[in-house]
Chains A and B, each alone.
Chain A
């Protein structure tokens, strides 16, 4: 076997590599620490592959242009951090409603407000779920290594295209700026999903055809002329006030994700088979959690780790299974307790759920997790 191509990459560069691998050909963004390197790298690389890069006047314009680019047929990305993620929320809602695939990267920093731009946090995980108004689908991926940033960015594009929905990739400043050796996958090595176009004639085309869970999407090219709106709409894309159709439209955008939880949710399970104490941890803190679990295992403590790569939809099944077998689930987060509420909802009193929280811009160290594991073992 040929030697794999390895590169020393920063997390944000790996994100750009992943986007290009997935076939991203449109980027619109606005500079913001600690995500800017994604834009910088794509401004260099996209024109080389005939893709388009534009630095917009603000974050709102960036998500809007990315959605516009996707509507015109190119796989589209925008990258930002907390304050910009807040500004992008109205556009994310539009993409949910109009069912436009696009990927939003949020390199999380300390908040609220301008907060701590150069320090990490995990405090946007609930914003990723509930940030835009109204009921809506949310698909959010949380890589924890530079390699995973590459592969999860590819997966984000695949999910966006497959389900015609915006997908968020959330990682934090730690992995965003960390440099690690990364194996660049060969073409064809990772799955790349392309948008399914219509097979019917332009006259017959319905952009929200209710015969499909995810209707084929005709980009604004060629002969397909149709209407897209952020208003509640009928199968033909035109606005409606009909309560039955409004109900159908609101449910179907959520249902298409819920129905496909199995193929969207991915987790890493470490020593969960015989664990009597569990750790639920995501993103960069998943690395501290893994270290802690390995460390206590050496001392005979039966700890296990559930590390979701998909936090939205929430991995109800995996958490529920863990709750059946453990005395306690520890949830370390670089926030004041966000995903812990979801863990508690699923656990529903079957075991103790204990948070470890840090909002000082420093990562949660393995020792902090080890201390709590030992207290409950």
Chain B
């Protein structure tokens, strides 16, 4: 068995085929989209995590990233816009043996699913939530989302977006998530490590993934290519939390932190419910 780390040393490419459903590719994502990179990081992390395909359940809402479950050979559930967290809560509580991973875009998780997102974090139910932040509604053709930067163009902000943005990680932390991290599709090996830690964490783990949508965000904002977007938003727009302390403030200011930003232990919802059952039955 080779872990991705040793595989890299030996230059043996990781074989994704065991985790992908035969006949379901090519995926629907546009050229230059980062969702495929994220999927690969996720599958490498899962491979190391030790969870089997039968144990894994991937749930999503609606949007480009929410199509991820269709490609992976797990128990997969593609639900309604914003509601993935609630479906996932039902699945996990009814069968706590499953390892549940939710894939959700920034609009799905933070706009229509905002209420479900914060309450899922608050309960600290064992679940890994991936929030793909590409600053736009991709599937509906490029409308502004709760993460679209102020001033940015979208098909519904033709004069520049005037709305302030959510900080996904701060929101997750304030809501009670016990693992909060940020990665990018540019730093795909680092993302793999973050995702592995998130999957191994007991409780609600939230990973925001800065990702690029060249088709809708890029074109409307005069960013000429996916690589240009990755350089601006991901390579230069973020700084590793490990480096941030050592860098002068001007090199950190205005940049998003990458890495595991917050991790604590707190009672997990399903375990607490099982204790409640034991207590009630013991009476």
Tell me, yes or no, whether A binds B.
yes
- Distance from A26 Cβ to chain B, minimum over Cβ atoms (Å): 5
For the complex, what is the distance from the CA of A238 to the CA of B85, rounded to whole Å? 21
Whether the Cβ atoms of A47 and B70 lie closer than 8 Å is no
For the complex, what is the distance from the CA of A68 to the CA of B24, rounded to whole Å? 24
**Across the interface, which residues of B come within 8 angstroms of A72, CB to CB?**
90-95, 98
Does A269 sit at the interface, judged by CB under 8 A? no
Does A54 sit at the interface, judged by CB under 8 A? yes
Q: A64-B83, A72-B95 are in contact. Are A230 and B119 (CB under 8 A)?
A: no
Does B156 sit at the interface, judged by CB under 8 A? no
Whether the Cβ atoms of A52 and B94 lie closer than 8 Å is yes
Our pick among A64, A69, A70, A230 for the contact of B78 (Cβ within 8 Å) is A230
**Across the interface, which residues of B come within 8 angstroms of A28, CB to CB?**
89-90
For the complex, what is the distance from the CA of A3 to the CA of B276, rounded to whole Å? 35
Q: A61-B119, A69-B91, A72-B98 are in contact. Are A94 and B80 (CB under 8 A)?
A: yes
Does B75 sit at the interface, judged by CB under 8 A? yes
Our pick among B74, B89, B115 for the contact of A65 (Cβ within 8 Å) is B89
User: Nearest residue in B to A74 (C-beta to C-beta)?
Assistant: B94
Q: A61-B119, A222-B54 are in contact. Are A69 and B94 (CB under 8 A)?
A: yes
- Distance from B139 Cβ to chain A, minimum over Cβ atoms (Å): 12
Main secondary structure of the interface of A (DSSP, over half): mixed
For the complex, what is the distance from the CA of A310 to the CA of B217, rounded to whole Å? 51
Whether the Cβ atoms of B94 and A230 lie closer than 8 Å is no
In the complex, per-residue mask of A257-283: 1 if CB is within 8 Å of any chain B CB, else 0: 000000000000000000000000000
For the complex, what is the distance from the CA of A220 to the CA of B77, rounded to whole Å? 10
**Across the interface, which residues of A come within 8 angstroms of B110, CB to CB?**
none
Which A212-243 residues have C-beta < 8 A from chain B? 219-231, 238-239
Whether the Cβ atoms of B98 and A91 lie closer than 8 Å is no
Which A83-115 residues have C-beta < 8 A from chain B? 90-91, 94
**Across the interface, which residues of A come within 8 angstroms of B59, CB to CB?**
68
Instruction: List residues of A whose CB falls within 8 A of some B CB.
Output: 25-26, 28, 47-48, 50, 52, 54, 56-58, 60-62, 64-74, 76, 90-91, 94, 219-231, 238-239
Given contacts A71-B77, A220-B77, 7 further A-B contacts (CB under 8 A): A47-B277, A47-B281, A52-B93, A61-B115, A65-B93, A223-B54, A225-B73
